[in-house]
Structure 1
Amino acid sequence: MQRKVKQLYTLMNRSQMAKSQFVFLFFISILEVAAGLAVPLLTMKLINQISDSGFAFTSLLPVMGVLVVQAVLSAVTFYMMRRVGEGAVANLRTEVWDHMLHLRLPYYDVHESGETMSRITQDTNVVKEFVTEQLVSFVSGLFTILGAVIVLLWIDWKMTLLLLLAVPLTIFVMYPLGDKMYELSKANQDELASFGGRLGRILSNIRLVKASQTERQELEGGKAQIQQLYRFGMKEAKIVAVLTPLMTLIMMIVLIAIFGYGGSQVASGAISSGELVAIMIYLVQIIMPFTQMATFFTDLQKTLGATERIVEALDETREVREGKPVPSASLPIRFDNVSFRYNEKPVLIGMTFTIEPNATTAFVSRSGGGKTTMFSLIERFYEVTEGQILYGNERIETFDLNEWRALFGYVSQNAPLLNGTIRENVMYGTPNATEEEVLAALKAAYACDFVMQLEKRLDTEVGEGGIKLSGGQKQRLAIARAILRNPRILLLDEATSSLDNESEREVQLALNTLTKDRMTIVIAHRLSTITGADHILVFEEGKLSGQGTHEKLLQTHPYYEQLWMNGRLEE
């Protein structure tokens, strides 16, 4: 438990909570508590005065004045509490979001996007609700209880000791249920994250779901998780249903006993009627925080569960971005005995070759031969298992990551577009580009004509994943984005492999513009598209088996000749 609370404290520190505001908040809260504690004493004095000399309106003024002050302080406390809590959680969410954006790619290979979203939204929201709704109320409640007990000891110590019998009984009830609530909260947060992952996965592929007619299958899978969340919710409800009434029962039994004892004391003349009323008001001030403690401790366990998940995410290794500047000259990329394992499975074995600047190099293998993996290694999404990748004579890991990735432009066969306008998609990664530069990139990509024919032109919405555009149009926008980026090194996951003849011709013209005078690395899906490459690398089962021009490989490499006869590498 101590470790979990320490995690929450550390998380609050990381959220850059405004400590000066928090100190001021507690100061105001103490003033509010003091005003509240003064009310019963003033009420006692009022009742005793009425008993002695009768009712006078002016005698109400002190009590009313203190009540007004208490109300104002309560309003200020509530506002400050929300301000501090919302600010802290906003900072926390910013830190988690920043951390997630800079995590190494292997993290996302094993965590669904919905699960990651849950860490940023659901878990931080649990922390926010605890800070804004429970933490300060709990501390002010403790001050109220302490102050009320001190005054009650002064009024009648025997009656106060009777009240304090409820404390060990309350702790005895809450402690075992608290651990149960913590485990339940952790399991509930995990299931909620898993359900979010399912929603993200299905909704982002809704067309595949409908085309495959798997609505019923996905409905059943979702229902199973919804029912599990329902069961967790009901288990939590059972704990709260037992805890809150039980604490109320303990306090009511003590309260009735005190009222009976207090009545006998008034009858015997040991205390005045005003003192009995003051005692009753103090008892209410004590009982309310005590009953709220049940909610506090259940919410604390939820928060500790959410905190553990957030801390686990924040402890994940980030990409190392600092390094030396990238040389201004275009240099060759050299694989020096590079091997790579993914989940202990060998993907690349002993790769040694050189990619020259200002030339087109093509990667050739059947599907699953490691071509895309080499792209990922070059862009430093993954680290090599053995060997090294050099840029010139320096390991690529030694360069500043931002500068290194700025060298690359990537055009894939599926041309990913974001839900937004054409302008936003073309400028993605180049936010400071001018309108003239955007239009020039569209012209170079043979995309300007179709864009200008649209009603809203550059401000046309492309839809989720570019659904409102054809395959050829999406490809040309992706190429325009790469042209605008003006990369030194171009990575092409053959962008024409799934297009019709007319679209392929226009996209190929755009690619010819893009590949001119720059290092270009192409993943080949059809050998007919790379016959003019300066250098072709052939891979078999994760190993380099041949390299050379198209003509040379046809004459000397039986496997390449076989692929050429087949014509398409996926076959």
Structure 2
Amino acid sequence: MDTIKKFISYYKPYKGMFFTDMFCALALSGIDLAFPLIVNYLLDNVYTLQDKNTMIKLVVYIGLALLAMYAVKYLCQYYITSYGHIMGAKMEANMRSDLFNHLQKLSFSYYDNTNTGKLMSRIVTDLFDISELAHHGPEDLFISILKIIGSFIILLSINVSITLILFVFTVLMVFFAIKYNKKMKSTFTRNREKIANVNAQIQDSLSGIRVVKSFANEKVEGKKFHKGNLEFLETKEAGYFIMGRFFSGNQFFQGLLYLSVILTGGFAISGGKLSPSNLVVYILYINIFINPIDKLVNFTEQFQRGITGFERFIEVMETEPEIVDSKNAIELKNPKGNITFNNVSFSYDNKNEVLKNININIDAGKTFALVGPSGGGKSTFCSLIPRFYEVYDGSISVDGIDIKSIKLKSLRNFIGVVQQDVYMFSGTIRENIAYGRTDASEEEIIEAARKANAHEFIMELEDGYDTYVGERGVKLSGGQKQRVSIARAFLKNPPILILDEATSALDNESEKYIQKSLDELAKNRTTIVIAHRLSTIRNADEIVVLNDDGIQERGTHEELLSKNGMYASLYNMQFEMF
């Protein structure tokens, strides 16, 4: 019931459309129920008249009344088909918007454990079925109940005994429907899970299509897809077997209804308790009685599809982001950029610590470098400052303020991040640079590109800044993507800058120019550099060597070389390589 209440809440903005839709459904039901009564009146009171002129007049009047009724039916059906669907589509759009906005709030840890393809399945496939239920569900249910009750009352007025027999078979049909309804729900839930797995596999394979082709592993991916596709097919087949028994059983019960009416009606006519015209009307009403039962049968399938989709929607919506603003969070205003780690520990799985008891102070405006082997926690260290992940012990502060006391948006607005794995959004180069500050002018975008040593290569492209970069920037080289990413950081101009191996994809000549630009960008701002090429951090104010066991060394470039320890070993190894 809690799920149903949440579903109904999405009707609230469209109450006018909903109640108009229900009024039109009421009108349609009334017209359909009235037709057999009109036929009965014509058979018993009009077509039997001896006065032909009177009969013709009555037929014309009744015909005009029927024409008016069907004109109303046309308008009502038009509204239900068009505006009813529009209402469902708007509700679907609202749900999709709510889901997207909620997904934006969820922490990195959620995406570490959730496949993007499965999320896409919930956003697209599930919400479409919910939209269909939102429109057709209440309308079909309302029409069906009205027609069943209305026709049942009229059938009772024609003949009680036949109607009671009809009622017995109807009750059997209801129990039959309930039994198979439960089976269909579990089947549709499994279908959702299997198609989500198929979508996830497709997304994974297409995203890595270049790796697939480079290893000539198309057959491997084909086998993986075939396995998931076959599992989905098997659940669909199982579902269709259940649906087959459901619908065929329902049709069998309907046949029994007609059979019972014909037999009992024949006995009633022979006993003089029922006229042939009444039996004709009775059969017409059985049709009206059975059609809504068919609709209810279809509604059960639609309801199960929609409600299982909505339950999956609610499952995501009820996932709370791990990192949120505290109750009394404040805005960070004009930060100097002093960063302090106080006994900070962190683990991704609450078991194996990546960082343990880290105590570091980074003075405002200084350049701080992190070096060490892969997996030593360098990127994790940087991810904790903008609260991409939450420390589970200790605290991090900016200008003496615990970052947990600062509003997330405010904190992240003052931090610029240039990552090793550059992400380009599908769009133009201009749009990707402007992502650093969406209100930037054309001149500011070009100036940022110049500082990042990107303007020259951009202008050599056919469409310049309007060049479409393709999905994930596939039309640009690794170095070009990195320079666009650095241009974003120049445009944002944050007081705190994090460079996660920002020059790793550049050639030596480009790196030399970019390094000058980064040195210029680092002036008067706190800069944290994760460096693979140690030659790029010689001028850092402090260098920390970090590995699995924590901080091993710290000092300036010259101080660490003189210690002849881990840093000197790493530096000499690179020097020998180059």
Decide: shared fold, TM above 0.5: yes
Equivalent of 1:551 in 548, 558, 561: 558
Query: What is the deviation of 1:38?
Result: 1.0
| C-alpha deviation, 1:84, in angstroms | 2.0
Which residue of 78, 83, 101 maps to 1:80? Answer: 83
The residue correspondences of 1:134-533 to structure 2 (distance < 5 A) are: 134-318=137-321, 319-321=323-325, 323-343=329-349, 344-533=351-540
Amino acid paired to 1:334: T
Cα pair distance change 1:104/1:527, threshold 3 Å = same
Report the CA distance between 1:133 and its aligned residue. 2.9
Aligned runs of 1:60-99 on 2, under 5 Å?
A: 60-99=63-102
| C-alpha contact (below 8 Å) 1:525/1:570 kept by paired residues | no
Give the drift of 1:514.
2.3
Cα deviation for residue 557 of structure 1 reads 5.8
For 1:273 and 1:209, locate their aligned partners in 2 and report how far apart those are by CA, in whole Å. 74
* One-letter amino acid of the counterpart of residue 555, structure 2: G
Structure 1 pair 211/126, CA: closer, same or farther in 2 (3 Å)? Answer: same
C-alpha separation in 1, matches of 2:193 and 2:575: 44
- Counterpart of 1:28 (choices 24, 29, 40) is 24
Unmatched segments (≥5 aa) in structure 2: none
Aligned to 2:40: 44
Distance 1:500 1:283 in 2: 81
Deviations 1:405-449 (A, max 9, x none): 011111122332112111111111422111111111112222112
**2:118 is matched with which residue: 112, 115, 119?**
115
State the SS of the aligned residue for 1:432: coil
1:25 deviates by: 1.9
Larger deviation, residues 267-276 vs 39-48? 267-276
Determine if contact 1:17/1:87 at 8 Å carries over to the other structure.
Answer: no
- Bigger Cα displacement from structure 2, 331-340 vs 70-79: 70-79
Q: Is the 8 A contact 2:482 2:506 kept in 1?
A: no
Taking structure 1 as reference, are residues 170 and 429 closer, same or farther at Cα in structure 2, changes over 3 Å only? farther
Residue 234 and residue 544 in structure 1: after superposition, are their counterparts in 2 closer, same or farther (change >3 A)? same
Residue 17 of structure 1, CA deviation = 4.8
1:505 deviates by: 2.3
Q: By how many angstroms is 1:254 displaced?
A: 1.3
SS of aligned partner of 2:450: helix
Residues 39-68 of structure 1, C-alpha deviations (whole Å, 9 max, x = no match): 111111112221344663414333343233
Given the superposition, is the C-alpha separation of residues 90 and 12 from structure 1 closer, same or farther in structure 2, using an over 3 Å criterion?
farther
Q: Which whole-Å CA distance do the structure 2 matches of 1:129 and 1:14 have between them?
A: 14
State the distance in 2 between where 1:477 and 1:532 align. Answer: 24
Are the aligned partners of 2:449 and 2:487 in contact in 1 as well (CA < 8 Å)? yes
Q: Is the 8 A contact 2:369 2:543 kept in 1?
A: yes
Q: Against the structure 1 CA distance between its residues 17 and 277, is the aligned structure 2 distance closer, same or farther, given a 3 Å change threshold?
A: farther
Say how many residue pairs are matched. 567
CA contact (8 A) 1:188 1:229 kept: yes
Paired AA for residue 76 in structure 2: L
**Distance (Å, rounded) in 1 between the aligned partners of 2:455 and 2:570:** 37
Give the direction of change, closer, same or farther, for the CA distance of 1:151–1:542 in structure 2 (3 Å limit).
farther
Decide whether aligned partners of structure 1 residues 263 and 78 sit closer, same or farther in structure 2, where only a CA change above 3 A counts: farther
Distance 2:204 2:437 in 1: 29
Q: Which moved more, 1:51-60 or 1:102-111?
A: 51-60
- Give the deviation of 1:70 after TM superposition: 2.5
Q: C-alpha separation between the residues in 1 aligned to 2:24 and 2:11?
A: 23
Shift of 1:533: 0.6
Aligned-residue offset at 1:567: 2.1
C-alpha contact (below 8 Å) 1:127/1:303 kept by paired residues:
yes
Tell me the distance in 1 between the aligned counterparts of 2:513 and 2:201.
38
Alpha-carbon distance, 1:264 to partner:
4.0
Which deviates more from structure 2 when the two are superposed, residues 431-440 or residues 318-327? Answer: 318-327
Output the CA distance in 1 between the equivalents of 2:35 and 2:260: 23
Q: After superposition, what is the alpha-carbon deviation per residue over 1:215-239, rounded to whole angstroms, capped at 9, x for unaligned?
A: 1111100000001111111111111
Any conservation in 1 of the 2:330–2:405 contact (CA below 8 Å)? yes
Q: Post-superposition shift, 1:331?
A: 3.4
Residues 542 and 180 (structure 1), Cα distance of their counterparts in 2 relative to 1, 3 Å cut: farther
Code of the aligned partner of 1:475: Q
Which region of structure 1 is more displaced relative to structure 2, 98-107 or 192-201? Answer: 192-201
Following the alignment from structure 2 to structure 1, what is the Cα–Cα distance between the partners of residues 334 and 278? 86
Per-residue deviation, 1:267: 4.8
Using the TM superposition, give the Cα deviation of residue 19 of structure 1 relative to its aligned residue in structure 2, in angstroms: 2.4
Q: What percent identity do the matched residue pairs reach?
A: 32
Deviation at 1:16, TM superposition (A): 4.5
Equivalent of residue 8 in structure 2, options 7, 12, 27: 12
- Distance of 2:251 and 2:290 partners within structure 1: 8
TM-score, normalised via structure 1 length = 0.95
- Specify the code of the residue in structure 1 equivalent to 2:78: A
Q: Distance in 2 between matches of 1:207 and 1:570?
A: 29
Amino acid paired to 1:565: N
Tell me, in whole angstroms, the C-alpha distance in 2 between the residues paired with 1:273 and 1:64: 27
| 334-343 vs 248-257, greater mean Cα deviation | 248-257
What one-letter code is carried by the residue in structure 2 that aligns with 1:378? I
TM-score (norm 2): 0.94
* Paired residue type of 2:225: G
- Go from structure 1 to structure 2 and tell me whether the alpha carbon gap of 1:265 and 1:74 turns closer, same or farther (over 3 Å shift): farther
Secondary structure in 1 matching 2:47: helix
Q: Give the conservation status (yes or no) of the 8 Å contact 1:42–1:63.
A: no
The alpha-carbon distance between structure 1 residues 204 and 400, as it changes in their structure 2 partners (threshold 3 A), is same
- The Cα shift of 1:466 comes to 1.8
Q: Secondary structure at the match of 1:51?
A: coil
Alignment partner of 2:30: what SS? helix
Deviation at 1:570, TM superposition (A): 13
- Check the 8 A contact 1:36/1:67 in 2, yes or no: no
Determine helix, strand or coil for the equivalent of 1:348.
strand
Following TM superposition, by how much is the alpha carbon of 1:349 offset from its aligned partner in structure 2, in angstroms?
0.5
- Aligned counterparts of 2:13 and 2:49: Cα–Cα separation in 1: 53
Kindly tell me: are residues 16 and 410 of structure 1, through their superposed partners in 2, closer, same or farther at Cα, counting changes over 3 Å?
A: farther
Q: Which amino acid aligns with 2:330?
A: K
Q: Deviations over 1:543-570 (max 9, x none)?
A: 1122110111122362222222222899
**Contact 1:15–1:91 at 8 Å: present in 2 too?**
no
Q: Secondary structure at the match of 1:567?
A: helix
Q: Secondary structure at the match of 2:544?
A: strand
Q: Output the amino acid matched with 1:26.
A: M
